[in-house]
């Protein structure tokens, strides 16, 4: 039975991945390089720093600390203008109305997540927020999802996770959680082989539908 929903934040609730990618790509171009898709894929949903790779490309004679700081300022400014992705607010509101437990599980900092949730008016809906501040290993390790389950006091079999990246899906699945991939403009063509379900948007998705997905998956597992 469905008792909880757990959401990634970056790229899932708010598409901050697009603003982040744009800033990093600009930094690479400034130094005569392109950011490969597979390199960025390693970073999304984790704390892997793409500037470390750029440093290896350009050498230690270039101080990338200032570049990183400048690009971070740009990213934060762009992200501050973004609203929630389609369907997220409606799904969260319905979950609150029917009494489900809600959490965010993110590899970003708690301050980043809470500030944006407050900005879009969704902070109070969540019973727990677990971020990189709370765990030893970030995604694709399952730690942040396990911490979210523990905070919500629910079993993995009673929750559904929503993710936008393969690293995030891997983390949620490693925690034993039924996982729905909702790719964004950056991750739309990435492989989501580990996801239980892939949907292009949460627009129009209802709690009844999510519960049916979980029930169908549980039924399939019990027949094996």
**Spatial CA neighbour of 4 closest among 217, 210, 165, 220:** 210
| Interatomic CA distance for residues 29 and 19, integer angstroms | 16
Side-by-side strand order, sheet with 4-7: 128-130, 101-105, 4-7, 159-163, 178-181, 197-198
10 is catalytic: yes
Q: What is the largest CA-CA distance in the chain?
A: 61
Q: Which of 8, 15, 143, 164 is catalytic?
A: 8
Do the Cβ atoms of 128 and 99 come closer than 8 Å?
no
* Half-sphere exposure in the Cβ direction for 213 (13 Å, CA): 21
Under a CB-based contact definition with an 8 Å cutoff, are residues 147 and 106 in contact?
no
Q: Is-catalytic flag, 8? A: yes
CA distance 110 to 175: 21
Residues assigned a catalytic role: 8, 10
């Amino acid at each position: 039975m469905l008792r909880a929903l757990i959401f990634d934040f970056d790229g899932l609730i708010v598409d901050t991945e697009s603003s982040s990618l744009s800033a990093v790509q600009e930094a690479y171009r400034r130094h005569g390089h392109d950011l490969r898709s597979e390199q960025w894929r390693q970073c999304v949903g984790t704390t892997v720093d793409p500037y470390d790779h750029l440093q290896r490309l350009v050498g230690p004679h270039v101080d990338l600390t200032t570049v990183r700081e400048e690009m971070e300022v740009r990213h934060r400014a762009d992200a501050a203008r973004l609203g929630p992705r389609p369907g997220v607010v409606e799904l969260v509101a319905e979950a609150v109305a029917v009494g489900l437990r809600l959490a965010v599980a993110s590899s970003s900092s708690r301050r980043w997540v809470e500030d944006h949730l407050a900005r879009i008016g969704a902070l109070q809906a969540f019973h727990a927020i677990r971020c990189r501040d709370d765990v030893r290993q970030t995604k694709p390790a399952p730690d942040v999802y396990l911490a979210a389950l523990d905070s919500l006091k629910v079993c993995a079999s009673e929750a559904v996770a929503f993710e936008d990246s393969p690293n995030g899906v891997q983390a949620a699945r490693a925690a034993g959680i039924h996982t729905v991939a909702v790719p964004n403009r950056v991750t739309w063509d990435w492989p989501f082989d580990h996801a239980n379900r892939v949907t292009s948007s949460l627009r129009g998705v209802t709690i009844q539908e999510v519960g049916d997905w979980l029930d169908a998956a549980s039924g399939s597992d019990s027949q094996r």
